Amino acid sequence: MTSPNPALVRDVEERRTFAIISHPDAGKTTLTEKLLLFGGAIQMAGAVKGRKASRHATSDWMEVEKQRGISVTSSVMQFHYRDHVINLLDTPGHEDFSEDTYRVLTAVDAAVMVIDAAKGVEAQTIKLLEVCRMRKTPIITFINKFDREVRDPLDLLGEIENVLKLQCVPITWPIGMGKTFRGVFSLLKNHLVRFTAGEDRLTEDRELIEGLDNPELDELYPMEMPYVRESIELVQGATDPFDLRKFLAGEQSPVFFGSGVNNFGVEDVLNALVDWAPRPQPRDAGVRMVDPFEDHFSGFVFKIQANMDPRHRDRIAFFRVCSGRYQPGMKVLHVREDREMKIPNALTFMAQDRVIMTDAVAGDIIGIYNHGQLHIGDTLTQGEKLQFTGIPNFAPELFRAARSKDPFKAKQLQKGLQELGEEGAIQVFTGEFGNILLGAVGQLQFEIVAQRLADEYKVDALYESTDVSTARWLSFPDDKTKREFEAEQNARLATDVNGNEVYLATSIYNLETTMKHWPQVQFHTTREMN
Ligand code: GDP
C-alpha cells in the first residue's frame, strides 16, 4: 500500500460509529435524544420536547407502528462532538425485530449498553450482548434511572459480570438514589458531580466537589457518605483497573451511572466514546482485510429500509463505508452482480432529516436510493472483487404459507414478497410445495408484511399455517451427496431469496432424524447474507 493520504487519515481518526443496545424501556430513546442535544444536532431543548411529544408520529412510518406505538425502523444519526464525527446507528427496540438489530451491530465499531438500574440485566440485553461478543465489539455501559428507587450499584455490577460475563470497571459511582440521588463520584477524576434534576439544560452545568475524603461531602451527605466510601473501597478492591486494550478487545466495559431523562451522566458516555472507543476498524472482506485508510472506496449494505418517507415510494440501502472516500456521482463495482453502477445522491441523516451527503469516509453510513438492485450484504468497491463478511441471517422460528386473496394477483404477491425478502423484512422460501413460505423470528413481522403488501403492492395476503417448524441452510461435501439428498428430501427443500438451499423440518425430532441419516450434510442455523 502507498502511504495513506493525510486528509483521509485525519477524517477517519475523527470517526466514532456506535449503536445503543438495551432492553425496551431501559432508556435508549431518551439517551439518544440527550446525546444528540450535546452534539448540537437538536439545537433547542424545546425541539427535543416537541420531538418527544410527536415521537411516534415522526419516526414511525407505518400504520402498524402507530397503532402499537413501537418503533420498527432503525435510522442513522450523525453529529459532531469535540472535533469528532459521531455516527449513531439506532436499533429497533422490539424483540420481533432482533434480526434487524443484529445486522446493524455488524456496521458499528462500538456499542453503548443501557441498563435500567431497577431491573438490571434483561432478556434482550443478553441476546444483543451475545452478538457483540461474537464480534468482540467494545461496550460502554450506562446504568440508567438513578433518580428512581433502584438496586444497589454493587449488586448491579455483580449481575452484569455474572450474567453477561463482562468484566465491569466503574468509572463513576452513584451517591444515593431516587429522592436522595446526590450525584456521581468520578473515580478517574476524583471529584463528585452533584446531581441536579432537569432535562432542558443544554450543557451539563457541573457543580464539582473535589476528593472522596473531602469533609464537605460529609457535611452535605452525612447519611450517604460512609456507605459510599465503603462501596467504592469494595468495588475497587474487587475490580481490575480500566485497561484500554481489554476494552478494545471487548473483554472489559467501563461503567457509568446516571439518569438519562435528567441529562445526567450522559456527557461521560459521550466523552468515553471519543476518548476510548475505536476509530473505524479494518474489516474482513473475504479475500483480505480492508484498512480504513486505503484510498479506494469500499463498503457494504447492512440494512434496507422501505418508505422512510411515505411521500416517496423508495427504498434506501444503508451502506457502511469501510475504506476510501465517497464522492457524489461516483462509479463503483457492484460485486455480486459484477457490473458497474453509479451512486447517485447518497444521503446522510441528521436526526429525522435527510441531507445530501457530499463526503463520507470509513465509519460513515450513507443512504443509497435503491430500486431492488442492492441486497443486504452486498459489497461495492472501486473495482476490486471484495466481499465483506459477517452479516448474519438466522433460522426463522415461525412459519406461515402466504397466498393472495385474489388469485389474479399471485404475481404481485410474488414480486412483493421477493422484494420484502431481499430487504430482510421477512424470510421468503419457495419450493415444490406451491404456496410461498414465510419465515420470521417475531410474530409482528407477519403483520408488518401483510400491511406493506396491501399498501405498497396492492395485494391482500392470506396466511395459512404450515407443518414447517424449523429451517436449516444446507451445505454438501460434494455434488453426488447433494443430488442424492435432493432426490430423497425433495418435498422438504426450498430456496431462500438469494437462491440458497434450505431444509424445512416438521419438528426438531424430524430434523434430528434427517441429520442422523445424512451425517455428511451440514445443517446451519445461521447464514451469512451474501
Ligand atoms: P427505550 O424503550 O429504551 O427507548 O426507552 P425510553 O427512552 O423510551 O424510556 C422508557 C421510559 O423510561 C420513558 O418513560 C422515559 O421517560 C423513562 N426514562 C428514561 N430515562 C429515565 C431516567 O433516567 N429516569 C427516569 N425516572 N425515567 C427515565
Find the mean pLDDT for residues 403-431.
Answer: 90
Q: Report CA(197)–ligand 1 centroid distance (Å).
A: 14
Written as one letter, the residue type at 300 is F
Q: For residue 190, is pLDDT > 90?
A: yes
Q: Please check whether residue 422 is in contact with residue 497, taking contact to mean a CB–CB distance below 8 angstroms.
A: yes
Helix (H) or strand (E) holding 516: helix 508-517
- Residue ranges in 221-356 assigned as alpha helix (H): 225-238, 244-248, 266-275
Ligand 1 site-directed mutation target among 22, 25, 55, most atoms within 8 Å of CB: 25
Mean residue pLDDT across the chain = 86
pLDDT band for 279, please (50, 70, 90 cuts).
very high
Three-state SS for 181? Answer: coil
Q: What is the DSSP letter of 408?
A: G
Question: Which has the closest alpha carbon to 264: 38, 19, 21?
Answer: 38
Ligand 1 atom closest to the Cα of residue 33 is 7
- Ligand 1 site residues (CB inside 6 A) read 22, 24-30, 93, 144-145, 147-148, 259-262
**In Å, what is the CA distance from 233 to each residue of 135, 238, 248, 293, 469?**
33, 9, 26, 44, 53
The C-alpha cell 443496545 sits at 21
Q: Report CA(455)–ligand 1 centroid distance (Å).
A: 33
Find the mean pLDDT for residues 359-366.
Answer: 93
pLDDT band for 94, please (50, 70, 90 cuts).
low
350 forms beta bridges with 353
Contact partners, residue 253, CB within 8 Å, separation at least 6: 113, 138, 139, 140, 141, 160, 166, 167, 168, 169, 247
Three-state SS for 60? Answer: coil
Ligand 1 site-directed mutation target among 30, 114, 144, most atoms within 8 Å of CB: 30
pLDDT digits (tens, 9 = 90+) for 17-49: 999 999 989 999 889 888 888 776 543 333 333
Find the mean pLDDT for residues 460-488.
Answer: 94
Alpha carbon 319 to its chain centroid, in Å, reads 13
Q: Report CA(223)–ligand 1 centroid distance (Å).
A: 28
pLDDT band for 202, please (50, 70, 90 cuts).
low
Q: Report CA(71)–ligand 1 centroid distance (Å).
A: 15
Q: Please check whether residue 26 is in contact with residue 93, taking contact to mean a CB–CB distance below 8 angstroms.
A: no
CA angle, corner 314, sides to 313 and 318, nearest 5? 155
pLDDT band for 64, please (50, 70, 90 cuts).
very low
- Count the Cβ atoms, other than its own, within 10 Å of residue 516: 8
Q: What is the pLDDT of residue 229?
A: 95
Q: Report CA(440)–ligand 1 centroid distance (Å).
A: 29
Q: What is the pLDDT of residue 29?
A: 87
Q: Report CA(25)–ligand 1 centroid distance (Å).
A: 6
1, three cell numbers: 500500500
**In Å, what is the CA distance from 96 to each residue of 25, 229, 232, 243, 441?**
15, 43, 39, 36, 6
Q: What is the DSSP letter of 264?
A: B
Query: Which residue's alpha carbon is at the smallest distance from atom 11 of ligand 1?
Result: 25
Q: Report CA(74)–ligand 1 centroid distance (Å).
A: 18
245, three cell numbers: 486494550
Q: CA–CA separation, 482 vs 486, rounded Å?
A: 6
Q: For residue 306, is pLDDT > 80?
A: no
Query: Which residue's alpha carbon is at the smallest distance from atom 24 of ligand 1?
Result: 145
Ligand 1 atom closest to the Cα of residue 22 is 3
Three-state SS for 272? Answer: helix
Burial class (CB in 10 A: 0-12, 13-18, 19+), 1: exposed
Query: Which residue's alpha carbon is at the smallest distance from atom 25 of ligand 1?
Result: 145
Ligand 1 atom closest to the Cα of residue 144 is 23
